[in-house]
Amino acid sequence: MLDARRREQPPYWFAERLLAVLTGRRPVHWMLGHTLGDAYDHLVRIADGTPLLPANRAMPTVWKWGEFHPRPGVIEAFALITGGGRLRAMAFRLEQGPEDRRWRCAAVDLDNRDSSGPDD
């Protein structure tokens, strides 16, 4: 069980919200203000068909997550998703706005699903 302080960290916050979209619990446009242009377009494509919702409809959860800070204002993160007897992986990049200091998702991808993301 994650303690409350860790749950407030941007990577966990985004992992939970991305999971809500990729399981169909929330519509993709729910992430519009929290996702940058190309990443939002890619999220729309990969969310089609609710790829993280298991066939048995057991609701997946964020089991584990981690982060790497390659430079100030950037977080490379992953989340391991468990549910329905399967373990899935999600990777995403967060970038902090230079003026408003808000974190936004700049890239997102899933384990073995559509791996063609936005161009770097």
At residue 8, the pLDDT reads 75
Structure tokens at 41: 């377009």
At residue 86, the pLDDT reads 87
User: Tens digit of pLDDT per residue, the chain (120 long)?
Assistant: 455 666 678 999 999 999 999 999 999 999 999 999 999 999 999 999 888 888 787 889 999 999 999 999 999 999 999 988 889 999 999 999 999 999 999 999 998 644 444 433
Question: How many Cα atoms are found within 13 Å in the side-chain-facing hemisphere of 108?
Answer: 29
Phi/psi for 2 (5° steps) reads -80, 140
Q: Which whole-number Å values give the CA distances from 115 to 9, 32, 65, 118, in the listed order?
A: 26, 21, 20, 10
pTM of the model: 0.85
